[in-house]
Amino acid sequence: VPAGLLAYTAFLWSRFGDPFITAERQVIWGRHLRNPLTTLETAWTEAIAGLNQVLDPATLFLYSQGLKPSATAAGATNFVLFSLFVLLLIVGVAFLPRVPKGLWIYTLLLVFVPLLITSDNRVLTSISRFELAAFPIFFVLGWLFSQTSLKPALWVWLLVSGAIGAAEAALFITGRWVV
């Protein structure tokens, strides 16, 4: 994993003359270095505000209060992203020590980096890209769900994640998904 990062920064350096060009370009997206506790506080506030849209999904598909379609989905997105972040954080801290140390550190860095470099609002907007790359967490989830006592949890996980996936697909094809 570190070899890939070094190779990528070497490519950036040879191609653009700056190995950290991607970090510098974050400013264009309104991202900057931020206290991770402040980021978590803002994410919590945004997630709680989006809970209404999760509990009343009709608001995601109907125009309300003069908002654009993608803006009406933002609150639900914030709630889902925060919930996923908390789940992966719990799994990462509690169970990832079962995987090799290098993969554990890699995964925790991928989960924590988005807390450091973020925008002032919708702070978890891009966190899903980082979490998908944290593949050791999915190894741990697979191992957990393979345990005989957790078979019902596997079905709950599949139903919930399938429902969320279907809702996200519906939002996307109706022009409301912006993350």
DSSP per-residue codes, 10-46: HHHHHHHS-TTHHHHHGGGGT-EE--HHHHHHHHHHH
pLDDT at 66 over 90: no
- Helix then strand then coil, % of the chain, to nearest 5: 80, 0, 20
Residues 99-118 have pLDDT tens digits of: 777 777 777 777 777 788 88
Residues 160-176 have pLDDT tens digits of: 878 877 877 777 777 66
Residues 75-90 have pLDDT tens digits of: 778 888 888 888 877 8
Choose among 112, 165, 159, 110: nearest CA to 135. 110
